[in-house]
A and B are shown apart, each in its own frame.
Chain A
Amino acid sequence: MKKLLLIIFLLTLIAACLVGSTAINPFAASPVERDILFSLRLPRVLFSAVIGAMLGLSGSVYQLTLKNPLADSFTTGAASSSALGAVLAIAFGLPVALVPVAALATGLVGLLTVYRLSKTNGVINPVTMILAGVVMNIVASSVISFAKYFFEDSLSSIVFWLMGGFFVVDWGKLLLCAAVLLIAYLLFAAKALQLNMLALDEYSAQSLGVNVDRLRSLAFVVATALVAVAVSYTGIIGFVGLIVPHVARSLFGSDMQQNLSYSALLGALLLVVADAVSRTIIPGGAELPVGIITALLGGIFFLYLLQTRRERLWHG
Chain B
Amino acid sequence: MAELWVDKLSFARGDFKLRIDQLQIRPGEKVAILGENGSGKSTLLQLLCGLLPCGGEIRYDNRPLAQIPVVQRARLFSLLPQFSELIFPFSVAEVVLFGRFPHAIGNSFSDADRQLSEQQLQQLDLLPLRERQFNELSGGEKRRVMLARVLNQQAPIIYLDEPNASLDIRHTLEIFELLGGRRETVIAPVHDINLAEQFFDRFLLLKQGRLLADVSHAHLTPELLTETYDVQVTGGTAAFTFTRR
Contact = CB atoms under 8 A, between A and B. Distances in A.
Contacts of A201: 81, 83-85
Contacts of B89: 249, 253-254, 312-315
B218 interface: no
Identify which of B70, B99, B149 gathers the most chain A CB atoms within 10 Å of its CB. Answer: B70
A197 interface: yes
A57 to B, nearest CB: 16
A203 B49 contact: yes
Given A201-B81, A203-B51, A203-B79, A209 B102 contact: yes
A177 B83 CA distance: 42
B43 to A, nearest CB: 12
B136 interface: yes
A69 B102 CA distance: 27
B99 A193 contact: no
B208 interface: no
Contact of A67 (B77, B84, B87, B136): B87
Given A209-B71, A209-B102, A200 B86 contact: yes
B108 interface: yes
Given A193-B104, A197-B98, A200-B98, A64 B74 contact: no
Contacts of B98: 196-197, 200, 208
Contacts of B146: 204
Interface residues of B, number: 39
B88 A64 contact: yes
B60 interface: no
A306 to B, nearest CB: 15
Interface in A232-255: 249, 253-255
Given A200-B98, A207-B77, A211-B70, A249 B88 contact: yes
A208 B90 contact: no
B49 A199 contact: no
B73 A207 contact: yes
A199 B102 contact: no
Contacts of A257: 107-108
Interface in A162-213: 189-194, 196-197, 199-201, 203-204, 206-211
B101 A193 contact: yes
Interface in A63-81: 63-64, 67-69
Nearest to B80: A204
Interface string B52-94: 0100000000000000001111110111110111111111001
Given A208-B74, A208-B101, A209-B74, A254 B88 contact: yes
B10 interface: no
A208 B81 contact: no
Given A201-B83, A207-B78, A312 B49 contact: no
A311 interface: yes
B99 A199 contact: no
Interface in B89-120: 89-91, 94, 98-99, 101-102, 104, 107-108
Given A196-B90, A315-B88, 20 more contacts: A69-B88, A191-B107, A193-B101, A193-B107, A199-B88, A200-B98, A201-B83, A203-B81, A204-B80, A204-B149, A207-B49, A208-B74, A209-B70, A254-B88, A254-B89, A312-B89, A314-B87, A314-B88, A314-B89, A315-B85
Interface of B: 46, 49, 51, 53, 70-75, 77-81, 83-91, 94, 98-99, 101-102, 104, 107-108, 133, 135-136, 146, 149, 153, 159
19 contacts: A63-B87, A69-B88, A121-B53, A190-B107, A200-B84, A201-B81, A201-B85, A204-B80, A204-B81, A206-B49, A207-B49, A207-B51, A207-B73, A207-B77, A208-B102, A254-B89, A255-B90, A255-B94, A313-B88
Q: Closest 9 interchain pairs by CB?
A: A209-B74, A207-B79, A254-B88, A315-B135, A209-B102, A209-B71, A203-B81, A211-B70, A208-B101
